[in-house]
Amino acid sequence: MDEKDWNAIRILFQEKNISRASERLYISQPALTYRLKNLETEFGTRLFFRIKGGIEFTSEGLHLVEYAEEMIKKLQSTKDNMINMQDEVRGTLRIGVSSNFAQYKLPRILKKFSTKFPNVQFNINTGWSTDILNLLNTDTVQLGILRGDYEWYGKKALLHKEKLCLISKKEINMANLPKLPLINYKTDSSLKSSINGWWHDRYSEPPFIMMETDRLETCKEMVKNDLGIAIVPQICLEPSDNLQIYELSYKDSEPVYRYTWLMYNQDSLKLSTVKSFIDFLNEHSNSLTKNS
């Protein structure tokens, strides 16, 4: 059993479907099936069985999945440490990043970092902050950039702070907000909690939700076309949007903030790529994360 086998088992476990797994592995379905049959022959046991729409792993197969995950991590750690023995900063930086930060801020950060350290490659995972936290907890990524407050026992540093804003196409009276059509969008629980907390602090009536969209950018386009109002983090707003922007605050005049955190384990600092990236963020965070 080698690295290709470990990866095949891991991807198949994630997808629970041979067709999708073969696509991710960039091999044909027959080639993947042949590799899996060889593994079953090697271990002398059945690893999975077919069900409608996919596959399920046997208890022996699940044990092999755990072994594959462990071996992949050990191999990656060995590669990282061997590269780290060289004087030059080089290697692959594995980062998990909240989707909004990845869309609006990360490209500019990576461009400036790669200009300074051209021999560093990036392996980027994006998603909701809860997903990124899971990647951190399983050591799939070396660094996490998360939005909102999450319990983390490793190192944690505030990377960015922005306000929550209400946006509209035309000027509005904030006192009439419960009667205006509000456009919602899918987001993580921490942002939903911040928005709901602000609303209940300011209004006794529930919001008039007119529509739900799958993405923040879709929601913003609806507002641009005067189909309703929305509450969004400041990170997504640009002067070119030509929208009315109202920064939110509680009854006591305290602004409603959205926080972005950098999280990592202390041991990760032993790697020159990780330490260089953290130092870079600490040195340039103000200039790199402010709105354009």
Write out the CATH class of domain 162-258. alpha beta
Place of tokens 């509209």: 168
pLDDT at 291: 45
Q: In whole angstroms, what is the distance from residue 103 CA to residue 213 CA? A: 18
Question: Which pLDDT score is estimated for 292?
Answer: 39
The tokens of 281 are what? 């963020």
The domain ranges of the chain are 3-81, 87-159+261-289, 162-258
Best CATH choice for the domain 3-81 from the list 1.10.10.10, 1.10.600.10, 3.40.50.720, 1.10.760.10: 1.10.10.10
Q: What's the CA angle centered on 98, arms 94 and 101, to 5 degrees?
A: 105
pLDDT digits (tens, 9 = 90+) for 51-72: 888 889 998 889 998 888 888 8
Q: Note the pLDDT of residue 287.
A: 59
Q: Could you tell me whether strands 91-98 and 120-127 are parallel, antiparallel, or unpaired per DSSP bridges?
A: parallel
**Helix then strand then coil, % of the chain, to nearest 5:** 50, 25, 25
> What is the CATH number assigned to the segment(s) 87-159+261-289?
3.40.190.10
CA distance 201 to 206: 11
Supply angle C-alpha 256, 95, 18, rounded to 5.
115
Below-50 pLDDT ranges, the chain: 289, 291-292
Tokens linked to 285: 């965070």
Domains 87-159+261-289 and 162-258 share a fold: yes
pTM equals 0.71
Q: How far apart are CA 71 and CA 171, in angstroms?
A: 58
Q: What integer pLDDT is reported at residue 282 of this predicted model?
A: 84
| pLDDT for the residue numbered 288 | 54
What confidence tens digit (pLDDT) does each residue in 144-175 have?
A: 999 998 889 899 999 989 999 999 999 999 99
pLDDT in tens, 279-290: 999 887 665 545
Q: Give Cα 220 to chain centroid, integer Å.
A: 20
